[in-house]
Structure 1
Amino acid sequence: MKWKKIGKILIIDDKVRDLSSKDLNQLLIKHDVYTIAKVKNISGKMRQPEIEILAGNRTETIHKENGCFFKLDISKVMWSKGNTTERMRIANLVGDGETIVDMFAGIGYFSIPIAIHANPKKIFSIELNPDSYYYLKENIILNKINNKLKNKNNDSNIIEPILGDSNKVAPKLSADRILMGYVKTTHNFLDSAIECINKGGIIHYHETVPEKLMNDRPIARIKNAACGRDIEILNNKIIKKYSPGVVHIVVDAKIY
């Protein structure tokens, strides 16, 4: 049986059928959780989950990953456990004093690890979903981000959460590094990212793409959005399989 544990909640594969009350009680005890659920679907630009509760009734939990704490409600916001390595990879790439724009911040998936494990000057964390924005702010407090970092950087708000549309917000900002950790329609935000990125800055662009096109289509989209600015592809890697024949990739592109 496929499953993943998010804090004190066990998420089991939607294809699993006919679990008895005895089975569910055994799973509660075995995995030390208070809720068992299925995620039926995640839909729309708000990335809203549709869940089915099989046991228990609490949907809010605190998950620990890479030394970071994430409070979330699985009935309101998504959690992608498969991106764990990528979140830490980005945190390790960030240089001292960088200004970061996280265009799809969610509950702080990338912003929180960067603040904890790197030494940024500022992180602008943009999120459209009010529920995710709420938990983003909660996680900044939970991890004591701004309190622990303000003396090091002389700034009481290392992470600045912004509720809004990245296409409207990002062009008003300037960044040394831009995170585009979203899929399906991410290419619609590339123009705004190019407007935002400083010369010599790096964009981490995510896309779901047929595997046979992964070395062509994402890069072509970045070049098209760059409007004549020189680009250097630093990395193009698969994060995970998305569906049969389709992969979730990230391209690291330096923009001059």
Structure 2
Amino acid sequence: MHARKVPAAALADIADEEWVDPSRRPYVEGGIAWVPVREGYSADADLPERETYRGRGYHLLGDVAVVHGDAPTDEELAAIVEHCRPRGVVRVKGFIDAMRIPDIEVLYGTAGEVRHREQGYTFILDPTRVMFSQGNRNEKARIAALVRPGERVADMFAGIGYFTIPAAMSGARVHAMEINPIAFEYLQRNIMANHVADRVTAELGDCRDLLAGVYDRVLMGHFDAPSMLADALAHVREGSVLHVHSIGDVNETIQKEVAGAGFSAAVASRRVKKYGPHAWHMVQDVTIS
């Protein structure tokens, strides 16, 4: 692997440089980062390719590795540290109440605020304080591809901007609502970091009280979304699309709520990721007619 040597603290600053190969991860050790270089650009070293990792699953948020579920064994933890050289490893045991506050345990090193780059977006967050759903990566990309410039979009559960940022960068005018003050602070910072302040209106509070006017698209990225369909349907028109997240298929509930609001709808269901035994995280695309 061709790589350039840079201070680890400079990684965020050089992430968008033309010479950086975004398909490979930097190797960090002792405050120095070896950053993969695209073909045709000069490099400081030719590092040996690393062996394929086959251990306990994890994902990186910035320079912090995150695991879910049961605690890893000492051997599994050591393998994660050896593979990605993180600043810290945290285990997310679950999420607390509707604000989705992570219940975490620091297993190695230190955690705290990170600057995470994903699909051309920047997300500033502290994984010990707010949720970040890595499994929604493909869904974020799908929403970004569906949104059209000028659409008025409601993001009812904005969090730190998982869907708000991609939608705004695709040209939408986004009304982003978040009830958790900590997540809302990161949402505001991420709006600025991604230079979309002119296209996003962010509000702190319960989305049911903040919805206003009529939207072309409503993002409902929370498992409680089906219970709030009536609130969302009061702010749509013929042609509007709702993206309703849930555990399992909720087509029957959607059709009942849509009919109660005086509309009909075409519903397309798709699986986002496995949630548990015999249970899937689903999203239903609901086109109002």
TM-score by length of 2: 0.76
Q: Give the whole-Å Cα distance in 1 for the aligned partners of 2:72 and 2:215.
A: 47
Matched ranges for 1:43-82 at <5 A: 43-82=96-135
Asked if 1:208 corresponds to 2:240, the answer is no
- 1:216-253 Cα shifts (integer Å, max 9, x gaps): xx122122222253333252101111111111111111
AA aligned opposite 1:238:
R
1:243 match: 276
Asked if 1:164 corresponds to 2:219, the answer is no
Q: Give the whole-Å Cα distance in 2 for the aligned partners of 1:132 and 1:105.
A: 9
Aligned to 1:162, the other structure's residue is in SS state strand
AA aligned opposite 1:133:
F
Q: Give the whole-Å Cα distance in 1 for the aligned partners of 2:264 and 2:134.
A: 31
Relative contact order higher in (CA < 8 Å, ≥ 6 apart): 1
Matched ranges for 1:103-118 at <5 A: 103-116=156-169, 118=170
1:130 match: 181
Q: 1:166: Cα distance to partner?
A: 1.1
1:230 match: 263
2:92 match: 39
Asked if 1:181 corresponds to 2:221, the answer is yes
Q: Give the whole-Å Cα distance in 1 for the aligned partners of 2:123 and 2:205.
A: 21
Q: 1:68: Cα distance to partner?
A: 0.2
AA aligned opposite 2:268:
N
Q: Give the whole-Å Cα distance in 1 for the aligned partners of 2:251 and 2:69.
A: 34
Report if the CA contact (8 A) 1:77-1:131 is conserved. Answer: yes
Q: 1:97: Cα distance to partner?
A: 1.2
Report if the CA contact (8 A) 1:66-1:113 is conserved. Answer: no
Q: 1:29: Cα distance to partner?
A: 5.0
- Which deviates more from structure 2 when the two are superposed, residues 51-60 or residues 225-234? 225-234
What are the ranges of 5 or more consecutive residues in structure 1 without an aligned counterpart?
Answer: 147-156
Q: Give the whole-Å Cα distance in 1 for the aligned partners of 2:104 and 2:68.
A: 11
Q: 1:86 aligns with which of 133, 139, 149?
A: 139
- Which deviates more from structure 2 when the two are superposed, residues 225-234 or residues 38-47? 225-234
AA aligned opposite 2:128:
S
Distance 1:19 1:179, change over 3 A: same
AA aligned opposite 2:181:
P
Distance 1:208 1:52, change over 3 A: same
Asked if 1:119 corresponds to 2:171, the answer is yes
Q: Give the whole-Å Cα distance in 2 for the aligned partners of 1:127 and 1:107.
A: 8
Percent identity between matched residues is: 31
Q: 1:74: Cα distance to partner?
A: 1.0
2:232 match: 193
What are the ranges of 5 or more consecutive residues in structure 2 without an aligned counterpart?
Answer: 1-55
Q: Give the whole-Å Cα distance in 1 for the aligned partners of 2:111 and 2:86.
A: 10
1:95 match: 148
Structure with max Cα Rg = 2
- 1:140-166 Cα shifts (integer Å, max 9, x gaps): 1111222xxxxxxxxxx3111110111
Report if the CA contact (8 A) 1:98-1:176 is conserved. Answer: yes
User: More helix by proportion, 1 or 2?
Assistant: 1
What is the count of residue pairs matched by the alignment?
Answer: 233
Aligned to 2:189, the other structure's residue is in SS state helix
1:142 match: 193
TM-score by length of 1: 0.85
2:253 match: 221
